[in-house]
Amino acid sequence: LGRLERHSSTLNCTAALYADDALKAARAADDRRANGSDLPVLHGVPLAHKDMYYRAGWRCENGSKIRKGHVPEITATAIERLDAAGAIDMARLNMVEFALGITGHNEITGHVRNPWNTDHVTGGSSSGSGAAVAARLAYGSLGSDTGGSIRFPAACCGITGIKPTYGRVSRYGAMPLAQSLDCVGPLARTAEDCALMLGAIAGHDDRDPLSNKRGVPDYSAGLSMSVQGIRIAVPANHFYDPVTDEVRAHVEGSLAVLRDAGAEIVEVTIPDSLSAANLLNNLIGATEGAAFHSRWLRECPDDYGRTTLARFLTGAMCPADRYLEALNLRAVILKDFADAVFTKADLLHVPLMPMPVPRIDETDFGTKKEGFAEFIATAGHCTRCFNYFGLPAASIPCGFTDNGLPVSFQLVGRPFDEATILRMAHAYQRETDWHARSPGL
């Protein structure tokens, strides 16, 4: 709590701090331990979450003017499950307006600052989550991922984040952006911490009919299993097209560590059809977002930030036949991709951010429209397709570029095989210390 209070103004990461509630929960945790009661898996662990997760009686404003002062009457399933696991909820964290953006910019609440260098972006849209966990203001945070919004902040801030399979975690009580793409997942320092958090929140929930009913493995227990013989696919084409030489060197360097840990590296050719997946993901996201926001777009369009409004209006103009075509093509393109990758390997290893983490002023729509457009077009090259497919994917830090900012690689798995992703990420982190480094605040 003290660190959140001290560093919040520097990083602009905190939307609302609930110190009294957190202290009350901490005293209850102390009492449970003193009484000799069985302690849940996250007993006493202080967390803070993206400002889109409802808790009855707490403000939830979604980084927006439109929802300013909104106090929900319900609590999100993921929050309830973390409570049941013993975690202490301290705060809501700033985010990109309505979770629509990958830089971390927010014209309404101000830009969140990267703790490694406050002149640089945090990545978005879970920008406050990335900054707070990297700065050691919280042990972990719930984010959301519709096109990379867990993985971007994790990569830009040098922490670990996992987007689970679509439907693995209930979205009840989380403000939606695009219902057929949104995923709830954790950001934390390590794969081990992500496994603990994901294990606590995963599983079917009747209040989210799209949550999957299959059983949830013990992700933490699986970390100790051998990675010997796990096959990791490396793409011969597509994913590295926009990647800078400096980032490529770090990402490819991580393969040597994984090989030494026991993984088998195999090269695969990515089908040409994948080139459409990112565009189709953008079309679906903008269209579904516009549909959800239709009343506010009619009644108070001037209350949106400029970039958010522009993207929602683009979605509002999408013809129904194009939207349905984007949905229908998903199965076809996914089959091409799965046949090319997962018949030959268990995981896919690809870059995440194609370039070094940029400065805020280089990617600010208000001052650098050309830089903003270029960054948006390039940055999501390696992430959005996996939301379109609903596949699990994690961001794992693997070094620093010459500007002193983190760089990460991405592991992608088969549907509902988060366990193998986390096991391999943990094996990598046993042999490296990139995830253990922290900014000097």
24 is catalytic: no
125 is catalytic: yes
187 found inside a domain = yes
Catalytic option among 8, 126, 129, 149: 149
Tell me, what CATH number does 243's domain have?
3.90.1300.10
Residues 6+ apart with CB under 8 A from 164: 183, 184, 185, 198, 202, 392, 418
CA distance 31 to 24: 11
CA distance 383 to 28: 41
441 found inside a domain = no
Catalytic option among 8, 64, 125, 254: 125
149 is catalytic: yes
Query: Structural domain of residue 398, as residue ranges?
Result: 2-436
Please tell me the total count of domains within the chain.
Answer: 1
Q: What is the pTM of this model?
A: 0.97
CB atoms within 10 A of CB 240: 19
CA distance 343 to 341: 6
103 found inside a domain = yes
Token couple for 71: 């106090």
CA distance 91 to 18: 5
pLDDT tens string, the chain, 441 residues long: the values are 999 999 999 999 999 999 999 999 999 999 999 999 999 999 999 999 999 999 999 999 999 999 999 999 999 999 999 999 999 999 999 999 999 999 999 999 999 999 999 999 999 999 999 999 999 999 999 999 999 999 999 999 999 999 999 999 999 999 999 999 999 999 999 999 999 999 999 999 999 999 999 999 999 999 999 999 999 999 999 999 999 999 999 999 999 999 999 999 999 999 999 999 999 999 999 999 999 999 999 999 999 999 999 999 999 999 999 999 999 999 999 999 999 999 999 999 999 999 999 999 988 876 666 667 777 879 999 999 999 999 999 999 999 999 999 999 999 999 999 999 999 999 999 999 999 999 988
